[in-house]
Chain A
Amino acid sequence: MYFPGCALKSTAEDYEKTAIAVAEKLGVELLELERWNCCGVVFNVAADAVMHHIAAVRDLIRAQEMGRKLNDNRLVTICSMCYSTLKRVNQIVKDDPEKLRNINEFMDEEEDYEGNIEVIHLLQVFKDLVGYDKIKEKVSRRMEKIKAAPFYGCALLRPKEVSIDDPEDPKIMEELIEALGAEAVKFPYEIKCCSSYNVIYDRKITEETAAEIQRAAERWGANIIVTTCPLCHYNLNTSKRKNGIPTIYFTELMAYAFGLEETLSPETLKIFNKILEEI
């Protein structure tokens, strides 16, 4: 089962399209939840914040309903923010039965959430369920000219209770990039924050942060930044620098490596073509 989230259905359509295509190529079928709502995007840290967990629990109930038919309890997320929110809410209601009871009682129109859904990220599917050997097999293009800097951002790594990897020294995307035959450029800002919703609070903060991250990736020799988050994607591309290094989704890099050009947007294809021309 998979939870797309709002961004993947609109501003990050390319992310969803390529994710589904590369997963299919690897024999993974992503079945979209039949019914879902926005997860809430951010996790509310207040101990008494029940209202702000309802959206995510409702989605977990939808997964529970569909999972019963499919006999599967794994819910795959693609957007980093959806991953973090669903994962954290799932954890908090599992750890706090009292809170779960409150939420279940509030949603008296739904069946109770039993706490059995497992929230995972697509990167984990590729690493643990598919394996990098199989990914290597599917690569149909020479990728060595692509020097991709993985940018993890926050939501996949922190806090450590929900991290998909070592929060200080993640390798999961680096390994994937190498499996694709491209050069992975590990750079010091790979776990930095893109400034998130500051793009609304104060756009300047975001433009400056994006420029810093771009400069660092360029200094470490990358020609492309690869991300998992639609908000990082937007924010990093807002930098006002001329000819700044572009940011794409990791699934777009995979689609390119697998020869699935038809799933890539003209803009992304242009980015790849430009890299190859310059070299």
Chain B
Amino acid sequence: MGEHVKNVKMVKIYIMGKEYEVPEGLTIMKAMEYAGYRFIRGIGCRGGFCGACSTIYRMKNDYRLYTGLACQTTVQDGMYLVQIPFTPAEKPKYNVDELKPTGTTILSIFPEIARCVACNACTKACPQNLQVMDAIQAIKRGDLAKAAELCFDCISCGLCTIRCPAEIIHYHAFQLVRRLYGKYIAKKAKHLEERVKEILQGKYDEELEKLAKMTIDEWKKLYEERDIEK
């Protein structure tokens, strides 16, 4: 073991029941790698956005089941953990163009939402601290704008879905909510429409062509000299 590790305080964690000593301050993901695990699946952006590294854990003398993203949560002494990299769920097929933006539309595709008992396990499980149960309730009553707002930051990690006693598939339902909201309810962004029109009219073709012909060094220079919003 390298010299630099010697001065670091070590903590004990249990990965799938097996004890490991790992340096304090590591994320769960790095600690697992330190312990010898090599990730092929159950890993993605390492930045807390992709939702691929869902983890559940318990602490000593505590009945609560905690959840977190392995790339965002630091290890603590006495942590019992396992990764839940994927929550199995069928992805229903639908055509957003043919749907009406109502709660009953979503219920007809995801009828299990009606089984919600308002236990709030989903909200407690959400590593993004979303009001997941309130979003499900908003769908039930047909308030898609509210639901879309509440689930905007969902990263589809599936932790709510695996905890749900009503077997609701939150993350697919939320995706549908946001699609319906974006297509039918949210105000259209004028500048976006204009920009798309400009692109289609070929306004940027020349500039793109110029970029395509540049060398890597020219790109680097361009990147460093770009305008940065302050």
Is A40 positioned at the interface, with any CB of B under 8 Å from its CB?
yes
Give Cα A38–Cα B140 distance, bound, in whole angstroms.
Answer: 8
Q: Give every chain B residue within 8 A of A40 (Cβ-Cβ).
A: 117-118
A 18-39 contacts with B by CB, 8 A: 35-38
Closest B residue to A38 by beta carbon equals B140
B140 touching A6, Cβ below 8 Å: yes
Is A58 positioned at the interface, with any CB of B under 8 Å from its CB?
yes
Give Cα A55–Cα B123 distance, bound, in whole angstroms.
Answer: 14
Q: Give every chain A residue within 8 A of B119 (Cβ-Cβ).
A: 51, 54, 106
Is B76 positioned at the interface, with any CB of A under 8 Å from its CB?
no
Give Cα A4–Cα B140 distance, bound, in whole angstroms.
Answer: 13
B104 touching A11, Cβ below 8 Å: yes
Tell me which of B104, B120, B137 contacts A38 (CB under 8 A): B137
Is B77 positioned at the interface, with any CB of A under 8 Å from its CB?
no
Would you give the 0/1 interface string for A112-145, flagging 1 where the beta carbon is closer than 8 Å to chain B? Answer: 0000000000000000000000000000000000
Give Cα A37–Cα B134 distance, bound, in whole angstroms.
Answer: 7
Is B182 positioned at the interface, with any CB of A under 8 Å from its CB?
no
B 104-135 contacts with A by CB, 8 A: 104, 116-120, 123-124, 133-134
Given contacts A9-B142, A10-B141, A37-B134, contact A107 B104 (CB under 8 A): no
Is B143 positioned at the interface, with any CB of A under 8 Å from its CB?
yes
Is B102 positioned at the interface, with any CB of A under 8 Å from its CB?
yes
Q: Which of A5, A6, A35 has the most CB of B within 10 A?
A: A6
Would you give the 0/1 interface string for A41-73, flagging 1 where the beta carbon is closer than 8 Å to chain B? Answer: 000000000011011001000000000000000
Is A278 positioned at the interface, with any CB of B under 8 Å from its CB?
no
- How close is A266's CB to chain B, nearest CB, in angstroms? 19
Is B48 positioned at the interface, with any CB of A under 8 Å from its CB?
no
B120 touching A107, Cβ below 8 Å: yes
A35 touching B134, Cβ below 8 Å: yes
B 9-54 contacts with A by CB, 8 A: none
With an 8 Å Cβ cutoff, the count of chain B residues facing the other chain is: 18
A38 touching B116, Cβ below 8 Å: yes
Majority SS at the chain B contact face: loop
Q: Give every chain A residue within 8 A of B123 (Cβ-Cβ).
A: 109
Tell me which of B103, B120, B165 contacts A109 (CB under 8 A): B120
Tell me which of B103, B104, B137 contacts A37 (CB under 8 A): B137
B141 touching A9, Cβ below 8 Å: yes
Q: Give every chain A residue within 8 A of B120 (Cβ-Cβ).
A: 58, 107, 109
Majority SS at the chain A contact face: loop
- How close is B143's CB to chain A, nearest CB, in angstroms? 6
Give Cα A109–Cα B142 distance, bound, in whole angstroms.
Answer: 26
Closest B residue to A106 by beta carbon equals B119
- How close is B160's CB to chain A, nearest CB, in angstroms? 15
Give Cα A52–Cα B134 distance, bound, in whole angstroms.
Answer: 17
Give Cα A51–Cα B142 distance, bound, in whole angstroms.
Answer: 24
Would you give the 0/1 interface string for A2-15, flagging 1 where the beta carbon is closer than 8 Å to chain B? Answer: 00111001110000
Give Cα A54–Cα B104 distance, bound, in whole angstroms.
Answer: 24
Give Cα A11–Cα B142 distance, bound, in whole angstroms.
Answer: 9
B 78-94 contacts with A by CB, 8 A: none
Given contacts A10-B102, A10-B104, A109-B124, contact A38 B118 (CB under 8 A): yes
- How close is B147's CB to chain A, nearest CB, in angstroms? 12
Give Cα A109–Cα B132 distance, bound, in whole angstroms.
Answer: 14
- How close is B140's CB to chain A, nearest CB, in angstroms? 5
- How close is B122's CB to chain A, nearest CB, in angstroms? 12
Tell me which of B102, B117, B124, B142 contacts A6 (CB under 8 A): B142
B contacts, CB < 8 Å to A: 102-104, 116-120, 123-124, 133-134, 137, 140-143, 165
A contacts, CB < 8 Å to B: 4-6, 9-11, 35-38, 40, 51-52, 54-55, 58, 106-107, 109
Other than the known A38-B116, A109-B120, what 7 A-B pairs have Cβ atoms closer than 8 Å?
Answer: A6-B142, A10-B102, A38-B118, A38-B137, A38-B140, A55-B118, A109-B124
Nearest 3 pairs between A and B by C-beta? A55-B118, A10-B142, A9-B141
Q: List, sorted by A's number, 26 A–B pairs whose CB atoms are closer than 8 Å.
A: A5-B141, A6-B141, A6-B142, A9-B103, A9-B141, A9-B142, A9-B143, A10-B103, A10-B104, A10-B141, A35-B134, A37-B116, A37-B118, A37-B133, A37-B134, A37-B137, A38-B118, A38-B137, A38-B140, A40-B118, A54-B117, A54-B118, A54-B119, A55-B118, A106-B119, A107-B120
